[in-house]
Structure 1
Amino acid sequence: MELPNSSVKVVQVCRVTRVAPASPLPDLSLPLTFFDIRWLRFAPVQLLYFYEISSSSSIDSTFSFDSILDKLKTSLSLTLKHFLPLAGNLTWPKDSPKPVLSYVQGDTLRLTIVESSNADFARLSSNYGLLEAQEYHPLVPQLEVSHERAAVMSLQITLFPNKGFSVGAAVHSAVFDGSTANLFFKSWAHICKHQGATSSSLPDQLKPFYDRAVIDDQKGLGTLFSIQYQGMDGPNNRSLMVWELQVPQDSVRATFEITRASIQSLRGHVMAAIGSDTSLHLSTFSLACAYTWVCLVRAEETKEDEARLVFSVDCRSRLDPPIPATYFGNCVVGCLVVAKTKGLLGEDGLVVALSAISETLRNLVKKGLLNEAESWVSRLSSLRSGRLVGIAGSHQFGMYEISFGWGSPSKVEFVSIDRTGAISMTDSKNGGGGVDVGLVLKKQYMDAFASLFVKGLIPHSKI
């Protein structure tokens, strides 16, 4: 079986469930909170991890793809003992006011094994090269979604003979936030790397926490969001179909590194410009976001009077009382940053961007995490019009630490940013406290962005 317009062929389609239990599992149901329902119709997030390992590798000179696949599949089944909801589905029963995540006996997680016959693994897994936007599409799975039912996750392992393999994933936005997705992959990798004959233990920091009672919904936001979604595209619309997003034509993909030294240089540049002003937030995240945003606005020659940036803030440690870091599900709020385009294009663009980001973070603390939460779903249509730059991922996830036993990833990608237009952010492949940012842009804009990005990081250059 050949996948359309690709150089890969399907070898096997597996339906994975947890390792066989001593007795049948009961049917399970996990309620969705308002943090989850907010993302009900959002397109799945697609992730991709590359691992280089050849027959001459010093890691394992006797490896075979059969042994790699056996370990990956066995460890995945063992991992599902801890993440059983991942084999379930989202449904919206007629007698339920809200969608639910349910696991029914026989539910499985879809894992597709494919082989690439002639793809250039070195090129695809090189962290700082230029690629066509859709080149990764054959390496990530599609999520099975219909009006009545939506899978939670789908996985794909692609084998590159004598080179390595990749692990691709599509995850439902109403079930996962970045922290939960990262928790799953670190757990799977841990079990794969350390598994014995039947071992599937996880350290406490990797054990998912499922208690929904820790999310207080006194305002009934979950029901409100469900009603608002039902009113979209017709009355009583309980469809679970996600919004389809298209990849702009002539788009290319690239990753850029901001080293720790560059972050320090940017911080010093800002401090020299603001003097004694201590109101700006000068964290690595804020500096990386602000710098990338300014370069992007200039590269795209934004014509709107205002430029908009949105990023997520994890609420787990910020709720009162705080909830465990391993909480399974969505627990983030979106922070919308607005700045005058003229200011971002000016000589002090970085300071303008940081000022806008800092003000948004101060308002989050001052007004509370759930300020204006009632409008999170109702205002989606207005947010989807015009250019809105999102941030996907975080440099704090440690995605380059995810090793299944054959070394760290040679590359990590958020494939779905080619549809959303977001900026991806991970820890630097090269380590050392740096940040890798990824973008998908039309070729002329990417060329302009690359020039601005590199030039602005040269010591003593103006940003």
Structure 2
Amino acid sequence: MANLSVKKVEVCRVAPKQGSPENQSSLPLTFFDLLWLRFPPVELLYIYQTSSTDSVLSQLKTSLSLALQHFPPLAGNLIWPQDSLKPLLSYVQGDAVSVTVAESDADFDHLINSVLLAAKDFSPLVPQLDVTDDRAAAMALQITVFPNRGFSIGTAMHHAILDWKTWAMFVKAWAHICKHEEEQALPSSLVPFYDRRVVKDPAGLGELYSKEHRYQDGRTDNRSLSTASLGKAPKATEDLIRGTFEFTRALIQRLRADVTTKTASASSLHLSTFSLVCAYTWVCMVKAEEIKGGTTILIFAVDSRSRLDPPIPATYFGNCIVGRVAVAETKGLLSEDGLVVAVNAITEALRSLEKGVLDGAEDWVSKFVDFSLYDRIYSIAGSHRLEVYDTDFGWGRPKRVEVISIDRTGAISLLDSKNGGGGVEVGLVLKKHYMEAFDALFASLVH
């Protein structure tokens, strides 16, 4: 497909409707948030199909304003005042979310149906997050209308402000309000919980992380809210291909049976959907990219809301995830029992949670992973538990959801399947010849 043509019509600002019930002036960042202070923004794209696009913009804007009543901090900005030890999320009356409105006459069917396409095809459909050294927007949105075919919602969020779970909760709340076309109470599962006091920090991790950020790069008071990559457009090049691969429940069960057959210790392994999908993808990536030796790792995040002592509400607004690292010898992953090796490594990483989710937390910012020790590093973005396809704004379920920011980060995205049934979609952005190799390996599982 030729370069996707998008015409920007306007950039407007949408504020929370007056009388916000949760009109807070600021939220302090916890140590969970500070871990992500200088990470690039997370970008997601939702694509919906409808032949009636005339009222899309007005309905989305109106419902967004109503949704922001419940999520007013998302209209705010991240700042780091000179008199504050830590950054904070500030929201004042008049703050608003930047919304870019665009139109496109691109091949809509190609966008929603192609398994493989150029990574650059989706880049024009997501907004840039407004970030400077002094101030960073919480989020930005872009609504692109494909006349009489459908529309897309491109989203960019600052990772220091919220994690994937909070983001999914916000988009579902927005969709719920838009679909029902009235100011009604949100279901309790979509009402954010803001009290940061539930995140206990007896070890002073917040101040420790803030200090390490301030002294980053040899500076003595580095309060910058930007990084070299933060806020820039994805660096998608001509030879990068985006691929989406569906692991159906049947395929996942086949992987589970394969592991069970090959090892007598299967009962001690974590044979969840997550472990099996990540393990198979990891093995295929190592093979496709022709990694020759040494050690590779897979980094993934674990929601800690229910794992803290005491647990905190599932609707807690902000970040509450911890990272875990699965380590495996490349030769083991390339062996006949590569899937078992990968599952075992993921199981060991998950077992480390038994020591407590905050075990070793004092080193997370300064030396979370010494990347020089490994020959290849993979990471997981998103989660199939977010159920992003259960996000209906009134025009049905999305036809496609993509994590666009993996163009830049190189992560492996993990989402629920648009076809439902307990399946999982894995998203990759690779050079063409690597993608072709991965596609062939995945096809060998399917067939």
Q: TM-score, normalised by structure 2?
A: 0.95
Aligned in 2, Cα 1:267/1:27: closer, same or farther, shift over 3 Å?
Answer: closer
2:8 equivalent in structure 1: 10
SS state at 2:226 partner:
coil
Residue 112 of structure 2 is matched in structure 1 by: 125
- Please give the alpha-carbon distance, in whole angstroms, between the structure 1 residues aligned to 2:419 and 2:112: 14
| Contact 2:294 2:375 survives alignment (8 Å) | no
Over the aligned positions, Cα root-mean-square deviation in angstroms equals 1.8
Change (3 A) 1:74 1:200: farther
Aligned residue in 1 for 2:28: 31
Q: How far 1:286 sits from its partner (Å)? A: 0.4
SS in 2 for 1:399: coil
The aligned residue for residue 85 of structure 2 is 97
Shift in Å, 1:401: 0.6
1:370 match: 358
Q: Which amino acid aligns with 2:111?
A: L
Matches within 5 A, 1:151-300: 151-196=137-182, 199-233=183-217, 234-244=219-229, 246-247=235-236, 250-300=239-289
* Structure 2 stretches lacking a partner, 5+ long: none
C-alpha distance after superposition, 1:137-188 (max 9, x if no partner): 1100000000000000000000001110000000001011110010000000
Task: State the shift of 1:64 in Å.
Answer: 4.1
What is the alpha-carbon distance in structure 2 between the residues aligned to residue 50 and residue 8 of structure 1?
15
User: Please, which of 21, 31, 40 is the counterpart of residue 43 of structure 1?
Assistant: 40
Greater displacement, 276-285 / 82-91: 276-285
1:53-103 CA deviation, whole Å, 9 max, x = no partner?
11xxxxxxxx342x2111111000000110000000000000000000011
**Pairwise mapping of residues 320-335 of structure 1 onto structure 2 (< 5 A)?**
320-335=309-324
Q: Which residue of 1 aligns with 2:409?
A: 420
C-alpha deviations, 1:320-342, integer Å up to 9, x for none? Answer: 11111110000000011110000
Query: What is aligned with 1:135?
Result: 121
CA contact (8 A) 1:249 1:442 kept: no
Q: Among 444, 451, 460, which residue is 2:440 paired with? A: 451
Secondary structure of the corresponding residue to residue 278 of structure 1: helix
CA distance in 2, matches of 1:26, 1:255: 40
Q: Which residue of 2 aligns with 1:59?
A: none
Q: Give the direction of change, closer, same or farther, for the CA distance of 1:95–1:345 in structure 2 (3 Å limit).
A: same
The alpha-carbon distance between structure 1 residues 435 and 109, as it changes in their structure 2 partners (threshold 3 A), is: same
TM-score by length of 1: 0.92
CA contact (8 A) 2:299 2:325 kept: yes
CA distance, structure 2, for counterparts of residue 358 and residue 338 of structure 1: 10
- C-alpha change, 1:42 and 1:208, in structure 2 (3 Å) is same
> Residues 40 and 242 of structure 1 are in contact (CA less than 8 Å); yes or no, is this contact kept in structure 2?
no
Contact 2:252 2:277 in 1 (8 A): yes
Q: Secondary structure at the match of 2:389?
A: helix
Give 1:21 deviation, angstroms: 2.7
Equivalents in 1 of 2:352, 2:53: separation in Å? 54
Pairwise CA distance, 1:235:
2.0
SS state at 2:120 partner: coil
Do the aligned partners of residues 381 and 333 (structure 1) sit closer, same or farther apart at CA in structure 2, a change above 3 Å counting?
closer
Query: Does the C-alpha gap of structure 1 residues 88 and 22 become closer, same or farther in structure 2, counting only changes over 3 Å?
Result: closer
CA distance in 2, matches of 1:293, 1:376: 24
Q: 1:271-420 residue pairs with structure 2 within 5 A? A: 271-365=260-354, 367-379=355-367, 382-383=370-371, 387-420=376-409
Long gaps (5+) in structure 1: 55-62, 459-463
Shift of 1:420: 0.7
1:19 lines up with 2:30 in the alignment:
no
CA distance in 1, matches of 2:133, 2:266: 53
Deviations 1:408-431 (CA, angstroms, capped at 9, x unpaired): 000000000011111111111111
Give per-residue Cα distances to partners, 1:299-318, cap 9 Å, x unaligned.
00113400110110000111
Secondary structure of 2:70's aligned partner:
coil
* Aligned partner of residue 377 in structure 1, secondary structure: helix
The 2-side partners of 1:281 and 1:445 are apart by 29
Letter matched to residue 379 of structure 1: K
TM superposition shift of 1:124: 1.0
Which residue of 1 is the match for residue 136 of structure 2?
150
Q: Provide Cα deviations, 1:377-422, integer angstroms capped at 9, x if missing partner.
A: 1125834886321111111111111000001000000000011111
8 Å Cα contact 1:115-1:160 kept in structure 2: yes
Partner-residue secondary structure (3-state), 2:267: coil
The residue type equivalent to 2:391 in the other structure is I
| Preserved contact between residue 78 and residue 200 of structure 1 (Cα < 8 Å) | no
1:183 alignment partner, SS class = helix
Cα-to-partner distance string for 1:260-307 (whole Å, 9 max, x where unaligned): 001111101111111354211000010000011100111001134001
**Cα drift, residue 11 of structure 1:** 1.3
2:58 is equivalent to residue 70 of structure 1: yes
Q: Counterpart of 1:303 in 2: which secondary structure?
A: coil
Letter in 2 for 1:194: H
Indicate if the aligned counterparts of 2:20 and 2:72 stay in contact, CA closer than 8 A. no
Q: Contact 1:123–1:129 at 8 Å: present in 2 too?
A: no
Distance 2:247 2:396 in 1: 23
CA distance in 2, matches of 1:307, 1:427: 26
